[in-house]
Amino acid sequence: MYSTSQPITQQSDINKPNISAQLTTDNENQALHQEAIFQFADDLGPAKIIHIYDPGTGLKAILVVDNVACGASIGGVRMAPDVTTEEVFRLARAMTLKNAAADLPHGGGKAAILADPKMPVAQKEILIRAFARAIKDIIEYTPGPDMGTDERCMGWVKSEIGRAIGLPREIGGIPLDEIGATGFGLSICAEVASNYCDINLEGARIVIQGFGSVGQHAARFLAAKGAVLVAAADSQGTIFNPQGIDIEHLIQLKSVGKSVIDYTQGQKLDRDGVIDIPCDIWIPAARPDVIHGDNVDRLQTKLVLQGANIPFTAEAERICHERHILVIPDFIANAGGVICGAVEYAGGNQKNAFQAIEKKIRQNSTLVLETATKTGIQPREVAVELAKRRTCTVTKWWE
């Protein structure tokens, strides 16, 4: 018999776990875990949130299928190293509202690949193809191009799984980035909105935050209506010239990998300097939440056309409304791209796409702004209610 047996037993009694307390803690942790998993859940969705990892290629990706009430979801594949699940969900929800508001026979989805979009093309292709194979059986989602991906990327997806939108022209697609579908839609929205905020597009001063595909085409289409680009920003900085910027020259610089600040005829500012420039129309066309409660008061504009998805926080939109800055929400203003993709999906052509974009965005912008003007309600609230009411038709809906 060991003389220490009694002390050990006593010590064991002292450290004996409280089973009831442990179960309570486990239940609390489980509840918190479930709350985190379902934190986005509401009456619309999301139907699925999928995290993807492929150790062979290093692929890390997120897919959110938000709502498929109107049909299989379509939405872009974003590539960026810092995308979060929350961001992808919010983007997918924007697609749900966008597709419903535009009366498209599709639900909303979104995907993101966590990687640098500027990586070598061969490496990028490996990741895109790995992503495509990973979602092959998620048939309620059809991918399209988004920030960091393009028509060529969608061609890789199509060759792997047989479905994608925004395809290269040579394989039967309507290359929505090449033709500027989203930018065209923004210009139509600008025509409508100008009547509600005392702007004449002839000579209107335009500022674009994010001079990628959407921003470039928006500048082109708005310039064709007489507007003047006075400032543009990308990740490297802002170029400002109150006399106007040569849009084609700026686009040419971007096409060879240079920045807007390599444009020589203007004042160079930091990236956030684009917020402070007085203008008539301010177009965010880059990442989410660029305007928020801490910087919204710096905006000096009459009209905001949301070329990017979720570029303003809810607080920022509310403050703009109080300041009488008209903000056209993303899923109304920038629906041109997904309308084009849906026309392609349904077998239409480029002419059908431009006709559908003009018709749908003109009608929706007018309806939202008429209602917002009469009621004093924020345009986004009006647009959300519109989207929730809409049902979808399927046969030759673009005509």
- Domain spans, the chain: 48-173, 181-389
pLDDT digits 0-9 by tens, 34-57: 556 678 888 888 999 999 999 999
- pLDDT at residue 13, rounded to an integer: 38
pTM assigned to the model:
0.86
Mean pLDDT for 136-150 is: 96
- pLDDT at residue 34, rounded to an integer: 52
pLDDT digits 0-9 by tens, 339-398: 999 999 999 999 999 999 999 999 999 999 999 999 999 999 999 999 988 855 434 445
The candidate with the shortest Cα–Cα distance to 247, out of 269, 226, 267, 220, is 220
CATH number of 48-173: 3.40.50.10860
Question: pLDDT class for 6, splitting at 50, 70, 90?
Answer: very low
pLDDT digits 0-9 by tens, 51-96: 999 999 999 999 999 999 999 999 999 999 999 999 999 999 999 9
- pLDDT at residue 41, rounded to an integer: 85
CB 109 within 8 A of CB 74: yes
- pLDDT at residue 30, rounded to an integer: 55
110 as an active site residue: the answer is yes
DSSP letters, 36-93, are HHTTT--SS--SEEEEEEETTTTEEEEEEEEE-TTSSEEEEEEE-TT--HHHHHHHHH
| Beta-carbon contacts of residue 98 (< 8 Å; ≥ 6 apart) | 108, 330, 331, 332, 334, 335, 338, 387
The fold for domain 181-389 equals Rossmann fold (3.40.50)
Mean pLDDT for 122-147 is: 97
Q: Is 218 a residue whose pLDDT tops 60?
A: yes
% of the chain exceeding 90 in pLDDT: 85
In DSSP terms, which residues pair with 77 in a beta bridge?
111, 145
- pLDDT at residue 43, rounded to an integer: 86
Q: Is 2 a residue whose pLDDT tops 50?
A: no
% of the chain exceeding 70 in pLDDT: 88
Label the pairing between strands 228-234 and 205-209.
Answer: parallel
CA distances from 277 to 242, 299, 300, 347 (A): 9, 7, 7, 43
The enclosing H or E element of 214 equals helix 213-223
Q: Do domains 48-173 and 181-389 have the same CATH topology?
A: yes
The enclosing H or E element of 28 equals helix 19-37
Give SS3 for 218: helix
- pLDDT at residue 81, rounded to an integer: 96
The candidate with the shortest Cα–Cα distance to 193, out of 334, 310, 390, 290, is 334
Q: Which of 60, 98, 110, 374 is catalytic?
A: 110
- pLDDT at residue 206, rounded to an integer: 98
**How many other C-beta atoms lie within 10 A of the C-beta of residue 178?**
16
| Beta-carbon contacts of residue 359 (< 8 Å; ≥ 6 apart) | none
Tell me what the pLDDT averaged over the chain comes to. Answer: 90
Alpha-carbon span 377 to 364, nearest angstrom: 16
Region of poorest pLDDT, from 34-48, 106-120, 205-219:
34-48
pLDDT digits 0-9 by tens, 290-347: 999 999 999 999 999 999 999 999 999 999 999 999 999 999 999 999 999 999 999 9
Alpha-carbon span 209 to 200, nearest angstrom: 21
| Beta-carbon contacts of residue 132 (< 8 Å; ≥ 6 apart) | 143, 156, 157, 160, 161
